[in-house]
């Protein structure tokens, strides 16, 4: 009898070991040497926090191989393992100097972490920009150790000096490109998904994509969720126009209006393609538009996925950007149009100071070329 028990335990241990898949992230301390990308309605560049002089790695990415894989939410362990293998999320949280704003944002951040952990098997990697050790300790005390929970499920936490948003984003992208993930989810610290029945796939998108496999999304390079709060984001009207299309398929449509709060990028390095990174010298608003533009210039597709809808837990009042958004966006688009004028990008109404719209027709002809403007693949 004792021999039988030992045999059963050995079989169980072998199966569980086979299920483990922890993605290792290689050291990301190298400098981008070519033009790059961005995030349009993202927080602006934030000044360096001089009070923090050194990087303090709470859990080095090199230690990911020691972590446990997540086994929490997918319908089957095999699917959970595939989600863990294919998707990694890279989240930047900036330590606001305004105490009231910081209090609201840290609460939203904790809600974001818990929501992602409760609804997905995606491993979460955090870049805490401008945070001190006391900030980290109090956050964990106030919010039930949610960062530690993410680490136990294969994620990582890194304390770094305060820096501009674009520089934090570059570091997240570089960490992703050196990882084994197929898809990197880039996020601010307040991004989740709407999850009611009318919101289509919602959190199910990740296991659905994992089941379908990479080949099903061959023409999708960068994609982002629909934003119900923006013009054209009315998903109810969209779904009602062809209910079966959206119920049965993942639907991606060409759209350069990428919002940096959340977007998903293919691992170009792993695929043997040129990485898309933003120019670190671009330090004004609109680096998400810059990222989308740079991706298209390099022959990548940038698309909206109609099966997921973005929910931001922090309102505009407590965003890092503040007022003057329209003026700043025009300034950004004028700059981007100048950067890519050789590729056919220009302002639609260059003499109208109230217009911030880019004219992309010639740019698409030169860069998008024959790649599809819509990609539909059946849900599993």
Name the residue among 323, 319, 333 with its Cα closest to residue 286. 333
What mean pLDDT is predicted for residues 47-51? 29
Structure tokens at 13: 């241990």
Would you state the pLDDT for residue 320? 54
Would you state the pLDDT for residue 230? 84
Q: How far is CA 123 from each of CA 137, 153, 351, rounded to the nearest angstrom?
A: 21, 7, 47
Q: In Å, how far from its chain's centre is CA 45?
A: 18
Is pLDDT above 60 for 254?
A: yes
Among 81-85, 135-139, 281-285, the least confident range = 281-285
What is the Cα–Cα distance from 304 to 225, expressed in whole angstroms?
6
pTM: 0.81
182 in any annotated domain: yes
Would you state the pLDDT for residue 60? 33
What is the Cα–Cα distance from 240 to 246, expressed in whole angstroms?
9
Residue ranges making up the domain that contains 183: 35-324
4 in any annotated domain: no
Mean of all residue pLDDT scores within the chain:
83
Position 231 confidence tier, pLDDT thresholds 50, 70, 90: confident
Q: In Å, how far from its chain's centre is CA 229?
A: 18
* CATH code for the domain of 302: 3.90.550.10
Would you state the pLDDT for residue 64? 31
Position 77 confidence tier, pLDDT thresholds 50, 70, 90: confident
Structure tokens at 265: 């990028």
Q: Are 73 and 121 in contact (CB under 8 A)?
A: yes
What mean pLDDT is predicted for residues 45-63? 31
158 in any annotated domain: yes
Is pLDDT above 60 for 307?
A: yes
162 in any annotated domain: yes
Radius of gyration of the CA atoms of the chain, in A: 21
Helix (H, G, I), strand (E, B) or coil at 338: helix
What is the Cα–Cα distance from 372 to 219, expressed in whole angstroms?
7
Structure tokens at 356: 């911030």
Q: Please state, for a pLDDT cut of 70, what percent of the chain lies above it.
A: 78
Would you state the pLDDT for residue 286? 93
The number of C-alpha atoms within 13 Å of 255 and in the hemisphere containing its C-beta is 21
Would you state the pLDDT for residue 234? 84
Q: With DSSP H G I counted as helix, E B as strand and the rest as coil, what are the percentages for the chain, rounded to 5?
A: 40, 15, 40
356 in any annotated domain: no
Structure tokens at 39: 């995030």
Per DSSP bridges, beta strands 123-129 and 156-160 are parallel
What mean pLDDT is predicted for residues 119-128? 99
Q: Are 147 and 116 in contact (CB under 8 A)?
A: no
The total domain count for the chain is 1
Position 325 confidence tier, pLDDT thresholds 50, 70, 90: confident
342 in any annotated domain: no
What mean pLDDT is predicted for residues 23-38? 33
332 in any annotated domain: no
73 in any annotated domain: yes
What is the Cα–Cα distance from 80 to 82, expressed in whole angstroms?
5
């Amino acid at each position: 009898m004792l021999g039988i028990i030992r045999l059963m335990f050995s079989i169980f241990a072998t199966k569980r070991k086979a299920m483990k898949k922890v993605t290792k992230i290689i050291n990301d301390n190298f400098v981008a040497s070519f033009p790059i990308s961005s995030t349009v309605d993202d927080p602006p560049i934030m000044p360096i926090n001089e009070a923090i002089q050194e990087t303090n790695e709470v859990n080095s990415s090199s230690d990911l191989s020691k972590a446990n894989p997540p086994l929490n939410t997918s319908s089957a362990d095999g699917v959970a393992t595939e989600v863990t293998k294919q998707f990694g999320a890279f989240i930047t949280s900036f330590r606001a100097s305004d105490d009231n704003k910081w209090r609201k944002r840290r609460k939203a951040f904790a809600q974001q972490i818990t929501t992602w952990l409760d609804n997905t098997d995606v491993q979460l990697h955090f870049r805490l920009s401008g945070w001190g050790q006391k900030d980290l300790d109090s956050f964990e005390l106030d919010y039930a150790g949610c960062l530690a929970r993410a680490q136990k499920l294969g994620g990582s936490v890194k304390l770094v000096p305060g820096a501009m948003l674009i520089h934090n984003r570059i570091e997240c992208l570089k960490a992703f490109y050196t990882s084994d993930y197929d898809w990197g989810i880039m996020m601010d610290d307040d991004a989740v998904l709407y999850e009611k029945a009318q919101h289509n796939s919602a959190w199910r998108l990740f296991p659905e994509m994992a089941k379908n496999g990479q080949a099903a999304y061959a023409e999708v390079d960068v994609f982002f969720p629909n934003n119900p709060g923006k013009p054209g984001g009315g998903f109810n009207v969209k779904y009602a126009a062809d209910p079966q299309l959206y119920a049965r398929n993942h639907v991606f449509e060409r759209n350069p209006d990428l919002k940096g709060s959340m977007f998903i990028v293919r691992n170009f390095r792993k695929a043997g393609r040129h990485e898309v990174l933003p120019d670190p010298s671009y330090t004004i608003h609109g680096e998400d538009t810059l990222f989308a533009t740079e991706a298209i210039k390099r022959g990548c597709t940038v698309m909206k996925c109609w099966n997921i809808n973005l929910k931001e837990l922090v309102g505009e009042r407590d965003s890092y950007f503040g007022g003057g958004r329209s003026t700043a966006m025009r300034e950004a688009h004028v700059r981007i149009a100048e950067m890519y004028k050789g590729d056919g990008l220009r302002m639609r109404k260059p003499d109208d100071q109230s217009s911030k719209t880019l004219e992309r027709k010639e740019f698409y002809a030169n860069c998008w070329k024959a790649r599809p403007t819509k990609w539909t693949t059946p849900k599993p």
